[in-house]
Chain A
């Protein structure tokens, strides 16, 4: 049994297809682990496991029945879906999100719904309306956010793999803090249909996995070779997602961005791991050169205008009329104002206020208009950089996992967690975070970015580096790791 739990998801799927394991065995092993969740990683587990191959379209599904932890931001027909918010307490959607449907059809049934920052707004998972999530590497620390539940579940071995969503870093940062691989695909590569919107022009779904191969395998079936007609912004991915096999970086030009990697906000321990990673890149045959993304330092400012602005509109539908929580004392205005006051948490209110302000009459051009222009400049910076280099690397998170409660009092300090991940989101570029080493005995992630639709290139490099780093993710999966301090 414990051997089964040590398998990567791709290996487990291979074992199923070779007849060495049954999907039911895998499901019940993980189901048992998930039920014993003491990290707050899961918000909901189905009463019964899905019937074998219930949702699959083939008798020999490529994902082998290896179950998937699904961030609670994805609508699943009939299953409680809250996006970590009180306002959706008890909501059961009448339809299923495309990513969940596609992965189930490929043989990855849903194991359960994972905890998250409310409406994906947060970098620590402390904004969940239900409970915080603990980091399996150190239970008094946060797992990152907003996909903190998905990351903690995979890191602790409660799930073989998971999907999350990333708006400004919500896949990459928790992957980094939990010692996992987290990939944010090119904007438009994966359907957003059924994924509860935070900031529509930035949101993307992607995998959080134990290794690069698992991430590639999930991405292959999320992309599924065809765009989703239910999402106007989804595109046909120009090539098939390959399972990476490279062992070196021969000939790859890798750019380093001082504006990001040498910013004052980057902790020394993180910087040390990052510098060591650059040496590994050169050892593997990659050429490291300095490039400039002069507007990237303004990414965070632009992001914290654009994302709240879009969110302020996206969250208007939570009005107590058609679904979810309802409050008020009888008139329409109080129905709206009380429902939303009681249903939304502090961070969500803060961002709705910020976004509403930025769009309001007299301020639009100063904030929203300018932020859109900064976005243009950041995308241009990347285009220019990718004339010179094939990939860009940065630290994923300025720090390792911080303590629960450490940053909750200061919104700006929390927002700085996204410093290195936001520019890629604004430019719509694919980026992966892979564990590159430890600092203070906690994982440090390396972020690798490429031009749009170069996921294969990014994953190939990540695969070569993963082998070179030889990162041991198992401490987080040992039950003993969660014991101290409980």
Chain B
């Protein structure tokens, strides 16, 4: 089961703003899904290795050879708020002027 507080904590980790109604719904739905997933908790998996990759590959590397970079205008082209030279963001740690 997952409660309101947990939903809010996870939403903050995931940087998702949820309305009150969404918090309630999320708590209910996630609890339902987790109930179903609980079934794997009952399995005996103590001596089973975890699988991260299904492909049996190792050491896939790239030679240290430069490739062309994007022209700056192209790199910045899709940015919602760009200066001439970079991507503008609100400074970390600084509060918004309108006090929110």
Contact = CB atoms under 8 A, between A and B. Distances in A.
Genuine A/B complex: yes
Nearest to A338: B17
A118 B17 CA distance: 19
Interface size class of B (residues with CB under 8 A): 35 or more
Interface string A262-276: 000000000000000
Nearest to A368: B50
Question: Chain B at the A interface: mostly helix, strand, loop or mixed?
Answer: loop
Contacts of A384: none
B80 A370 contact: no
A347 B80 CA distance: 25
B55 A357 contact: no
A322 B89 CA distance: 10
Nearest to A308: B33
A374 B42 CA distance: 11
Given A353-B30, A371-B40, A324 B78 contact: yes
Nearest to B48: A373
Interface string A375-387: 1110100000000
Contact of B78 (A91, A187, A302, A370): A91
A301 B37 CA distance: 5
A232 B75 CA distance: 24
A321 B52 contact: no
A320 interface: yes
B92 interface: yes
A369 B50 contact: yes
A427 B95 CA distance: 48
A344 interface: yes
Contacts of B89: 321, 332, 335
A324 B80 CA distance: 7
B30 A337 contact: no
A353 B34 CA distance: 12
B30 A298 contact: no
B2 A370 contact: no
Given A229-B62, A321-B79, A377-B48, A201 B16 contact: no
Contacts of B13: 356, 360
B88 to A, nearest CB: 9
Contacts of A426: 54
Contacts of A235: 55, 57
B3 to A, nearest CB: 12
A354 B30 contact: yes
Interface string B53-75: 11101001010000000100011
Contacts of A485: none
A370 B43 contact: yes
A331 B48 contact: no
Interface string A176-218: 0000000000011000000000000100000000000000000
B54 A379 contact: yes
A135 to B, nearest CB: 26
Nearest to B35: A412
A237 interface: no
Contacts of A452: 54
Contacts of A298: 39-40, 43
A352 B16 contact: yes
Given A323-B78, A325-B80, A330-B97, A376 B49 contact: yes
B58 to A, nearest CB: 10
Contacts of B49: 373, 376
B91 to A, nearest CB: 7
B33 to A, nearest CB: 6
A408 interface: no
B11 to A, nearest CB: 7
A336 B15 contact: yes
28 contacts: A94-B70, A94-B74, A94-B78, A233-B53, A301-B39, A304-B36, A320-B80, A330-B90, A330-B97, A330-B98, A331-B90, A332-B91, A338-B17, A340-B16, A349-B26, A350-B26, A350-B30, A354-B30, A360-B10, A360-B13, A369-B50, A370-B45, A372-B50, A374-B43, A375-B50, A377-B43, A377-B45, A412-B36
Interface of A: 90-92, 94, 187-188, 201, 229, 232-233, 235, 295, 298, 300-302, 304-305, 312, 316, 319-326, 328-338, 340-341, 344, 349-350, 352-354, 356-357, 360, 366-367, 369-377, 379, 411-412, 415, 426-428, 452
**5 interchain residue pairs of minimum CB distance:** A428-B54, A330-B96, A372-B50, A326-B80, A323-B78
